[in-house]
């Protein structure tokens, strides 16, 4: 799989992204489209995961099945990453969940970790849910922490990203993969993705900017 996958060729993902970008989308509908897009990002992210075969009994007889051959762990970056988690469980219901809390200093734009709790990660495929991949600082910090816990593969899932953020993550974490719905033009003077979609967490939870 490529280091970076962009869903810009998927019109169904485009519908979800357009709704998330739209300034008139209410928090209720924002959460709905975030969930739908989270499912699409997750499906792309686990392409190529080793599979385990098994058999299930149907009403008429046995049938072969496939399932992921690795433990999958979703790790939302609080708080915005929570918006993608329901979509992950829609398509990967057995995924375990960890949490990482990273707070951005508005002056330095650097991330400070204030919370970290994950299940055992030895040999796991870990999906880092970071909807806005701006400078890449928060996601890169998360990836390093998860690598240290023994993850086999770490994949960052983003709604929108910048090339600066993508390059930083890949430079600092060569084994990581990134799946995003779009790579936007860049950052504004406040360090927000442009044109982006505003503050993902505020729009998700209906809190004032």
Give pLDDT tens digits for 2-59: 899 999 999 999 999 999 999 999 999 999 999 999 999 999 999 999 999 999 999 9
Short-list 118, 119, 110, 126, CA closest to 177: 126
The CATH number given to 4-50+68-205 is 3.40.50.2020
Residue 109 contacts residue 164 (beta carbons within 8 Å): no
Q: Are strands 99-104 and 111-117 parallel, antiparallel or unpaired?
A: antiparallel
Q: What pLDDT, on the 0 to 100 scale, is given for residue 124?
A: 96
Global pTM reads: 0.92
What are the residue ranges spanned by the domains of the chain? 4-50+68-205
Residue 138 pLDDT greater than 80, yes or no: yes
pLDDT at 114 over 90: no
Res. 108 pLDDT band, cuts 50 70 90: low
Determine the average pLDDT of the residues in 73-97. 96
**Among residues 108, 86, 113, which one has the least CA distance to residue 97?**
86
Given this model, what pLDDT does residue 110 score? 66
Instruction: pLDDT band for 106, please (50, 70, 90 cuts).
Output: low
What per-residue confidence (pLDDT) applies to 180? 98
Name which of 70-79, 81-90, 110-119, 163-172 the model is least confident about: 110-119
Distances from the Cα of 103 to the Cα of 70, 124, 138, 142, angstroms: 30, 26, 8, 12
Q: What is the mean pLDDT of the chain?
A: 93
Output the CA torsion 81→141→193→127 (10° steps). Answer: -40
Contacts 24+ apart (CB under 8 A), 31-34: 31/83, 31/204, 34/83, 34/84, 34/87, 34/131, 34/159, 34/200, 34/204
User: Torsion angle, CA of 17/187/172/155, rounded to 10 degrees?
Assistant: -10
- Band (pLDDT 50/70/90 cuts) for residue 109 is low
């Amino acid at each position: 799989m490529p280091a970076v996958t962009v869903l810009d060729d998927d019109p169904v993902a485009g519908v979800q992204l357009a709704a998330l970008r739209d300034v008139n989308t209410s928090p209720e509908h924002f959460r709905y489209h975030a969930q739908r897009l989270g499912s699409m990002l997750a499906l792309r992210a686990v392409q190529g995961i080793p599979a385990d075969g098994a058999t299930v009994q149907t009403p008429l007889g046995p049938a072969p099945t496939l399932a992921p051959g690795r433990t999958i762990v979703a790790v939302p970056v609080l708080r915005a990453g929570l918006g993608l988690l329901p979509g992950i469980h829609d398509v990967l219901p057995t995924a375990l969940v960890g949490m990482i809390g990273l707070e951005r200093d508005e002056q330095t734009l650097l991330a400070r970790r204030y919370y970290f709790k994950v299940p055992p990660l030895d040999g796991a495929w870990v999906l880092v849910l970071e909807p806005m991949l701006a400078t890449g600082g928060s996601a890169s910090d998360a990836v390093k922490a998860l690598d240290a816990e023994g993850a086999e593969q770490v994949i960052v899932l983003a709604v929108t990203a910048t090339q600066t953020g993508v390059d930083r993550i890949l430079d600092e974490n060569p084994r990581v993969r990134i799946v995003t719905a779009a790579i936007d033009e860049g950052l504004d003077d406040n360090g927000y993705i442009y044109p982006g979609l505003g503050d993902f967490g505020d729009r998700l939870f209906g809190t004032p900017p």
